[in-house]
Chains A and B, each alone.
Chain A
Amino acid sequence: EDKVVQSPLSLVVHEGDTVTLNCSYEVTNFRSLLWYKQEKKAPTFLFMLTSSGIEKKSGRLSSILDKKELSSILNITATQTGDSAIYLCAVEWYSGGGADGLTFGKGTHLIIQP
């Protein structure tokens, strides 16, 4: 059974702190790993990672995939209150029949205090 595990499940930090969110996975037929941010509505896309060791960056957010360790981290530097959200890790899989889809972790609920 495919499994995606995120840690921590919740995190409270102060504005300006740096946070690291973790994601590990056991998925048959791995294609890619995706990070999403969710704020009370549909998840919004952050990163898609397919190659091990290559960091993706977008402003204060960055992410890297380690395919040997079957894991990924999402870093947020100089956090702001607007970063408060649930961060979801999802692994994209494919099946022999040509179908594909996402298996999600439970998410990390990040709260940034002023």
Chain B
Amino acid sequence: NAGVTQTPKFQVLKTGQSMTLQCAQDMNHNSMYWYRQDPGMGLRLIYYSASEGTTDKGEVPNGYNVSRLNKREFSLRLESAAPSQTSVYFCASRTVSELINYGYTFGSGTRLTVV
């Protein structure tokens, strides 16, 4: 099915470990985003990519790096995980040429716990 696929769905890390969250979309969308959601905080933008080869910082980029590997894939890396990075992470994509209202498509989320 077309959409945004995130892996893994769940992950437990120890403080200081590193990991990469993967995101892929098969809708030929230009823009991709990483958000984190903490209880009572809504979604906060970590990084975004308007097109292949470009990335920009969002509201809360500290402690994260991203790679826009190609048009389909946008990965989020935690180099040295901290308990403050315990959160639910959502990847999303959007095309600027989309004419319908459903401009943003979200993945199902990755629940990350850092102990």
Contacts and interface: CB of A to CB of B under 8 A. Distances in A.
Interface string A38-69: 00011101011000000000000000000000
Contacts, number: 61
A41 B109 contact: yes
A12 to B, nearest CB: 16
Contact of B103 (A41, A48, A107): A48
Nearest to B91: A42
Contacts of B2: none
A100 B45 CA distance: 11
B106 A107 contact: no
A57 B101 CA distance: 13
Main secondary structure of the interface of A (DSSP, over half): strand
Contact of B45 (A6, A47, A102, A106): A102
Which of A4, A97, A104 lies at the interface centre, i.e. has the most chain B CB atoms within 10 A of its CB? Answer: A104
Contacts of B33: 101-102
A73 to B, nearest CB: 17
A53 B20 CA distance: 44
Contacts of B44: 104
A88 B58 contact: no
A112 interface: no
A19 to B, nearest CB: 19
7 contacts: A45-B101, A48-B101, A99-B50, A100-B96, A101-B45, A102-B104, A104-B35
